[in-house]
Amino acid sequence: MELAGTLRILVSWGQIDRILGRFSTTEAHAKHSFSKLSKAADLKEIRLIENSTVPVNGHDATLTHFAVTSAYPVFGKYRNRETRSLHVHCEESNRFFILNLSTRVNLQSSEAASAFEKLRESFVCH
Ligand SMILES: [Zn+2]
């Protein structure tokens, strides 16, 4: 897919047994990530668009869709980005995954939505 410069995908992961004491569900895990991000100093505004449960490779994953405005204007303009964040807990591989797909807001939102769907459908954790 060619969306150079407009689309960013970031995947982070870790061992699930290290976080299960704090986050027994992907909802709790996603809520924690979102509230941590809300306190970031470089953000002017963060707005939740959608929060839902979606299937990922047989798991119930939590989707958090939000828009952010950066705190520092560039050439007099505040930059806006839209992010779809997926929290997946995979007991089979003992790993949790956080998939973030973010785009500039001026990108057609249907393009971002279809890129996200492809990522969600093709992701294999175990
Ligand atoms: Zn899995």
| pLDDT (tens digit per residue) in 1-25 | 444 457 889 999 999 999 989 999 9
What are 103-118's pLDDT values in tens digits? Answer: 887 666 788 889 999 9
The pTM of this model reads 0.88
CB–CB of 86/98 below 8 Å? yes
Query: Residue 70: how many CB atoms within 10 A of its CB?
Result: 16
- How many angstroms separate the alpha carbon of residue 58 from the centre of ligand 1? 7
Quote the pLDDT of residue 108: 67
- Dist. CA 125 → ligand 1 center (Å): 4
Helix (H) or strand (E) holding 118: helix 109-122
CA of 89 to the centre of ligand 1 (A): 7
Q: What is the mean pLDDT of the chain?
A: 90
Kindly give the distance from the C-alpha atom of residue 95 to the centroid of ligand 1, in angstroms, as a whole number.
Answer: 8
Buried b (16+ CB within 10 A) or exposed e, 92-113: eeebbbbbbbbbeeebeeeebe
Cα 9 to ligand 1 centroid, rounded to whole Å: 19
How many CA atoms within 13 Å lie on the side-chain side of 69? 6
Distance 100 CA to ligand 1 centre (A): 17
